[in-house]
Structure 1
């Protein structure tokens, strides 16, 4: 077994069960250096289409169904589907972080295989809820924003760590409590109660995912002699991601490694060390 060949197989496949099997096997053998020898002469492949392209209709973000009216079954399903799509995309992002950046240490490899396993579990929880509502993954259109972000950062692990975990996943920490607040009036519905439980699990574990991204971002900054906060701002500007965030989840981001000066720069009104 070659770990990188297995990851490529998982990244090309739209089968979550195959991704789960491969992630589990690679985690089990993560410290077996023989399977991570990239001696086949094949460099990481660049993927032109996301693995969900065969069963999801991809549209411009402005053409997505609006996430509102959570009192209706369809409205709730649209919300669950949008979160489910993020979790599916996150599976591939975590696997790609291992597949693509082969010069990184073994601890990095284990971190992102663990993240992939978490995202697979999140996907499974949410898919069960969506199916209980009478829908399945692919029943609503999706956008490919996270896939495109991965494509744009495919040549540099530093930029990948900045853009995916430190920006997009951290933004998820900001948004999660807002979604919970909107769902609370409907928590008497069994599906909403289950969704709230799933969102709490995802929230706790995503803090750790962002923390892992922060750790490896800072590791790469140190190796390159770069100042982390300034480097992060520069990368956000490069990808036009540097707008001030209105609702920064200060405590969650601090737990994940952000400093107060950095959070104030991102738009937090108050942050105490």
Structure 2
């Protein structure tokens, strides 16, 4: 007798509770692959953990306790930059997994597919950045890292509209703004390999922000309210940071984020 397929929530929970970075990447890509092949049931019989499992290193620090990187020209500063990017992508794996596993039951199969696709992308990004660090004589975990990146997920764990408003449409959209300048510094330093990694990440992140915007607009459409007004209200309520210029307007617009969302809320 053939056994019932594993639920997608069970598979996602298993990946979230995998602490080793390399193993988490493999687990995430395996969940995405099995879902794509129809080997996981659209069932939500297991709750998502309050927090994902974390490796012993890096040490997680509050933003105001993070050491300064120094000037980009030094090897130490370059390693610090790549390490910071790797940590952002590592946490992004968990953010995408949690999105699919926590809200998939109410949002549907297309939503699960899109955010497992995002999770697999983030795992690939992390793997590229991890190998980049190793090529520079370092590794992920060698330096302390920002400890507040999961906070936005925890704060919005009971509201999918708030989660979409904050994680893809603020945090990931910020990546669209800052990556081009980083890319130019990397190119100016003659690091073509690093430039290719950042170009790939930027292209993928436009699509990721686009997924978030797509589902946010669908949710708000049912309420009859203006999407920009709802978004601003949720950002003011749930986001503790600042929405800061300069903005990459063309990349944001490609992801469905017009200036009407963020222009008059920016600091």
Provide the TM-score with structure 1 as the length reference: 0.88
Equivalent residue for 2:3?
Answer: none
Q: Give the one of 38, 56, 59 matched to 1:57.
A: 59
1:46 is the counterpart of 2:50: yes
In 2, the alpha carbon distance for the partners of 1:159 and 1:68 equals 35
List alignment gaps of at least 5 residues for structure 1. 269-273
C-alpha contact 1:233 1:242 (8 A) present in aligned 2: no
Give CA-to-partner distance per residue, 1:158-210, whole Å, 9 cap, x none: 111000000000011000112123333311xxxx3211110111001100000
1:156 is the counterpart of 2:159: yes
Equivalent residue for 1:2?
Answer: 7
In 2, the alpha carbon distance for the partners of 1:113 and 1:267 equals 31
Give CA-to-partner distance per residue, 1:1-39, whole Å, 9 cap, x none: 22211211111112234333333333334264862223x
List alignment gaps of at least 5 residues for structure 2. 1-5
1:36 is the counterpart of 2:42: yes
Q: Give the one of 144, 169, 174 matched to 2:172.
A: 169
C-alpha contact 1:248 1:267 (8 A) present in aligned 2: no
C-alpha contact 1:236 1:242 (8 A) present in aligned 2: no
Equivalent residues, number? 260
1:15 is the counterpart of 2:17: no
Within 5 Å, which residues of 2 pair with 1:220-239? 220-239=219-238
In 1, the alpha carbon distance for the partners of 2:57 and 2:188 equals 33
Within 5 Å, which residues of 2 pair with 1:205-216? 205-216=204-215
Q: How has the CA–CA distance of structure 1 residues 244 and 35 changed in structure 2, closer, same or farther, with 3 Å as cutoff?
A: closer
Q: How has the CA–CA distance of structure 1 residues 209 and 248 changed in structure 2, closer, same or farther, with 3 Å as cutoff?
A: same
In 2, the alpha carbon distance for the partners of 1:248 and 1:176 equals 11
C-alpha contact 1:87 1:123 (8 A) present in aligned 2: yes
In 2, the alpha carbon distance for the partners of 1:81 and 1:12 equals 22
In 1, the alpha carbon distance for the partners of 2:170 and 2:243 equals 12
Equivalent residue for 2:95?
Answer: 93
Provide the TM-score with structure 2 as the length reference: 0.90
In 2, the alpha carbon distance for the partners of 1:95 and 1:115 equals 8
In 2, the alpha carbon distance for the partners of 1:151 and 1:168 equals 14
In 2, the alpha carbon distance for the partners of 1:211 and 1:219 equals 12
In 2, the alpha carbon distance for the partners of 1:170 and 1:267 equals 13
Secondary structure in 1 aligned to 2:60?
A: coil
Within 5 Å, which residues of 2 pair with 1:91-240? 91-101=93-103, 102-187=105-190, 192-240=191-239
In 2, the alpha carbon distance for the partners of 1:250 and 1:266 equals 15
| Residue 264 (structure 1) shift | 3.0
Root-mean-square deviation over aligned CA pairs? 2.1
Q: How has the CA–CA distance of structure 1 residues 266 and 195 changed in structure 2, closer, same or farther, with 3 Å as cutoff?
A: farther
Equivalent residue for 1:246?
Answer: 245
